[in-house]
Structure 1
Amino acid sequence: MFWKKNRQETKAVSENENSLYPVLHVMGSLKDYHKEMVQKEVDSLWELNEIGRSFGGVVKEAEDFQVKLLEFGENFSSIEQVSGEFITVKDTISQSVARAQGGVEELKNSSEQVADYFSEMEHTFEDLQKAVEKIKQCTDKIVSIADQTNILAINASIEAARAGEQGKGFAVVAVEVKKLADEIKNLTREVDSGIQDVEQGTDQLSSSITTSQSALGESLDKVQETYNMFDEITQSAEGAATVHTEISGVIDQSKSALQVLCGFFDQIKMQYQEVMSHINKAGRLGTTKSTMFEDIDNMLSQIPPIVKDFNSRNKG
């Protein structure tokens, strides 16, 4: 009966051991699964860290690119400033050209007045030449009359000689008339010489006037060309102003686009901060889970000794 009782006790212990075997088996599986989960958690944390590092690198490159864009915007501002300075220079050029055009206009008016004076002088010399020609005609008539008077005086002297004593007084008059005629002829020769000198002088002066008029006409042409060139300079300066306006418009559009891009990069920074916040939060949760895993591992490690202690007590 004792043997039967011992056998029953042995069977009970064996049954207890067999009943605890699934617990040990499940515990071993849990421990293996726990190790696997811990390793996966470590891998997840490492991947999160790598994601944060890679994302940080991308954001760093984005920040560098944003800095370049800002520098690009500063270059746009410099271009706009230089373009604005060009407008100031254009205004100065326009003012200088306007003053120069005013001077050229005065020169043109003065030259036209001089041309009018030359034209009047030309008409005056034409009148002078006509008057000299009339004087020549008059002197020719005077010479003709003097010649006729001289012939008459000679004839009177001949007739006086024929008259003898009675014609002596008439002969004296004839001689005086002849002398007067000769003096008139000499005087007309001097007048002719003076007229020839006047004619030569007027011819030279007329030639000089013609040359001066030609030179003045060329000068007026040059003045007009200069005036037209100033007009072209002014138009070119106005065209440059139009180009400046277009440049300013393009720069403003580019600045707006740069601002949009910079705003986009600011949004990226904000999103990056949010992502990094989530990554950090996930890292903290991973640390908490690691502590929990350690606690679970400690609890699982305590189960086998408890089971052994329970078995040894049952065997006793």
Structure 2
Amino acid sequence: MTKDYLSNYSELVVQTAVKLCAIACAFVALQYGLVMEYTIPNLIMLAMSIFLVGLFSYFNLTKKFSYKHAQMTLIAFFIGWLYSALIGTLIAMFLIVPVLMLLALYPQKKFRWKVMIALWTGYIIVIIYNLLGYSDVLSFSIGLGVFFFYLSACYALNALTLLINKLSLDVDKNQQQLVKSNAQVENHLKEIENVQQQTTDYINEVIPSLRETVNVTEEIAKSIEEHTQSVESSSEKGGESIEYAEKLDNSLGVLETKLENVTEAKEDGEKGVNSLSRTATKSIKVKDNMLNVAQLTEERANKIIEVLGSIKSIANQTQILSLNASIEAARAGEHGKGFSVVADEVGQLAEQTSNYVVDIEKITKELDDSTTEVNKAAKALNAIVNGQNKLIGEVIEHFTNIDASVTESLKEMSVVGSDLTSVKNNIEHLNTQLESMSAVSQQISASSQQSLSSLQEQFNSMEKIQEKVNELGKNDSEAVV
């Protein structure tokens, strides 16, 4: 939208300059027609001037200036030159011949049209001032001045148009990048939310398993304690001790299966945390891209402001020159009225250019305000990403502790299993090895207590992880809102 707005303004400036030049030439021709002597040669000259002005205006206003139209204009030039030579205005030769050479030799069509129009305008001014009685040198000087002024104005406005279009294209591209970056941020936030949900589900599955494991371990500890008392009280309960040992063996198998489930859940949780970490890294890259795009947009806006300052200075100087020209035309009296009209039109053109510059400055200010908002959004995203990274680090640390606890529990379960095997062997020789059996039972009891403590720590760690994940989900929800 900004690009189209600036392009329309630059095109409007160029079209206004062309229209005003055509209108100025028409005013000069009509003014001369009111004060001249109505002879046949002068009427022919007036008709030819008005025809050329009308042809020039039609081609430029309708943008239908083709090669065929150029040939028609060349024929009109040649007729005017021949007529001027016949009536003694030989100075026209110095304008027409260079025009024909440039149009025939120069390869760029756009340049040929501009040179032809500029020289044609100067040619009409020379003819008019020459017929008004001015000297050839003065007429030629005025026509040459009009030629260079028009050509310079065309090139200045053309360069300004190209520059504004280029800057507008860059601004439009930067806005597209900002929109794309915002979409990426939304996608990453959705991915983070999904990973958080998966992690919460994993933890919800693990916590019941740990709770059941703790209960089983407590039952094992009670069974071992009862078994120890039975061994110490009487050797007649050897068969019952064997049954207890088998139950303990089965319970240890169940406990080992639960621990394996906890390990698998822990691994799934680590995968979810790693995915969350990668998503946070992508969010950091998106934030950096937003900051770079905002900085580039701000630099482009500053360049536009510098160019507008130069244009405003040129417009002010043009108004001063127009005022000086009007003063000089007033001093010339009746013969300077035509040139006074041209000076007034040039002054109005400069004033319109200044107004366009003010409008473009407003657009640039709005663009600068938008860039400021983007910078604020990028900084807010940076704070959110930093908070996420901190919470992710804490979650990873808790998973590491769980891994160590599970590994230690598996080792202790292996020791308990070995001890239970020894218990069953010792029960068979209960009558001769009661003292040894009692010591082994006490060792089993101590190992079971250690396993129970380790599992309790795992349970507490999982509850902390769930709290961190819930806190992380709350922060992401606030960020999305």
State TM-score, norm by structure 1: 0.59
3-state secondary structure, aligned to 1:177: helix
Structure 2 residue aligned with 1:48: none
Larger radius of gyration between Structure 1 and Structure 2: 1
Structure 2 residue aligned with 1:226: 395
Superposition deviation, residue 143 in structure 1:
1.1
Structure 1 residue aligned with 2:264: 95
Distance change >3 Å, CA 162–CA 78, structure 1 → 2? farther
Distance change >3 Å, CA 169–CA 74, structure 1 → 2? farther
Measured in 1, the distance between the counterparts of 2:403 and 2:393 equals 15
Query: Is the counterpart of residue 161 in structure 1 residue 330 in structure 2?
Result: yes
Distance change >3 Å, CA 147–CA 264, structure 1 → 2? closer
Measured in 2, the distance between the counterparts of 1:173 and 1:193 equals 31
The counterpart of 2:234, out of the listed 44, 51, 65, is 65
Deviations 1:5-45 (A, max 9, x none): xxxxxxxxxxxxxxxxxxxxxxxxxxxxxxxxxxxxxxxxx
Measured in 1, the distance between the counterparts of 2:429 and 2:296 equals 86
Q: In structure 2, list runs of 5 or more residues that go unmatched.
A: 1-230, 435-481
Measured in 2, the distance between the counterparts of 1:112 and 1:201 equals 26
Measured in 2, the distance between the counterparts of 1:130 and 1:143 equals 20
Distance change >3 Å, CA 160–CA 251, structure 1 → 2? same
Q: In structure 1, list runs of 5 or more residues that go unmatched.
A: 1-61, 266-316
Structure 2 residue aligned with 1:120: 289
Superposition deviation, residue 104 in structure 1:
2.0
Deviations 1:167-200 (A, max 9, x none): 2222222222222222221111111111111111
3-state secondary structure, aligned to 1:132: helix
Q: How does 1:1-316 map to 2 (within 5 A)?
A: 65-261=234-430
Measured in 2, the distance between the counterparts of 1:75 and 1:171 equals 122
- Which is richer in helix? 1
Superposition deviation, residue 212 in structure 1:
0.3
Superposition deviation, residue 246 in structure 1:
2.0
Question: Which letter maps to 1:81?
Answer: N
- Identity %, equivalent residues: 24
Superposition deviation, residue 205 in structure 1:
0.6
Superposition deviation, residue 66 in structure 1:
3.6
State TM-score, norm by structure 2: 0.39
3-state secondary structure, aligned to 2:234: helix
3-state secondary structure, aligned to 2:406: helix
Structure 2 residue aligned with 1:309: none
Superposition deviation, residue 129 in structure 1:
1.0
Measured in 2, the distance between the counterparts of 1:95 and 1:225 equals 20
The total of aligned residue pairs comes to 203
Contact 2:238–2:428 at 8 Å: present in 1 too? no
Measured in 2, the distance between the counterparts of 1:157 and 1:225 equals 80
3-state secondary structure, aligned to 1:96: helix
Question: Which letter maps to 1:113?
Answer: K
Distance change >3 Å, CA 246–CA 123, structure 1 → 2? same
Superposition deviation, residue 264 in structure 1:
7.5
Question: Which letter maps to 2:297?
Answer: L
